[in-house]
Amino acid sequence: MLFSMIFIGGYTRLSGSGLSMTDWRLEGRRLPLTEEAWLKEFEEYKKYPEYQRLHAGKMELEEFKRIYFVEWFHRMWGRTAGFLFAGPLIYFAGRGVLRLRFAANLTGLFALGLSQAFVGWWMVRSGFDPPEQHTPTLGPNQRPRVSPYRLASHWTAALTIYAGCVWNTLSLLRPSPSQIHSCAEAVKAASRLRLWAWPTTAMVTATLLSGPFVAGNDAGRAFNTWPKMLDDWIPPEWLAFIAEPFTKWRAIFEETAVVQFNHRMLAYSSVAASLGLWAYSTQLPLSAAAASATAALPMVLGAQMFLGIATLLLYVPTELGVAHQAGGVTVLTALLFVLHTMRLPV
């Protein structure tokens, strides 16, 4: 459900549905049931920049109903996931069958999930303001969108919740490290590889966290060429940033060319690092489980990179954009599997 929640979130943003609901309630709400209720919601939507700049006089009620449903479904899916997490947690905690540390982990994940609801609304709320209010360099005709910084916060929180659930699930379902690394030689090999896995983890994490700045700045709809960015291997905007990094530091997060170039370079570096990790692993006497986990990582990262290139060249069609976001979560899953496999016996 968490994986699909992130998948649905990507579709909500790319389909232009994310700003259709102009209020928020923690307990959720039902869909409008009457034509009068739908018209009331539509009139509220008309008060904000997205309608005024993109749809004024051109959007019919039926089209509004479609985008409203997508955003409503995304919110209610998240609430459903929360209930399905909280119910068993309360039940098993009440029966006293959870170890203290595991119960604390699950409670922390639930609290983070609850806070994610507020972060999501905080993000959406930024899309109701004129774009130039958040980024002064944008012109009056700029497409309204949520703040890239708030989008990055929402994405980071989503990945953190997902990663926490995956890690705890693996800890329940998989054998202990002593069973995976069955001999002293395999333990020593895993320990050596683990040292190199952490820099790879840092590189992949940086790539994942740079993604929302590409999305939040619509940077995927510019420089739709590869391997060059239009006619340049290195865009002039990036060279200008490098010349004055302390005065132009915001370019890392807000300048279209810089944001996209950084994301490309991080992706290339992540693929290279994962290939290096795999190549090094082939020289070590790893257990079969550790060798398989390491071999999967560069394949997943390579597939994600080529999916990103296809998304860029085709000008970010919704289907490929959503697939690329889901691919990012798949990469994270593969990375967690590697790190979990490399755990050492206590």
Per-residue pLDDT tens over the stretch 148-199 = 999 999 999 999 999 999 999 999 998 788 888 878 888 899 999 999 999 9
Instruction: Give the whole-angstrom CA distance, residue 137 versus residue 23.
Output: 28
CA atoms within 13 A on the CB side of 197: 23
- How much is the pTM? 0.91
Give the pLDDT confidence score for residue 26 in this predicted structure: 83
> Which of 14-23, 110-119, 127-136 is predicted least confidently?
127-136
pLDDT at residue number 139: 45
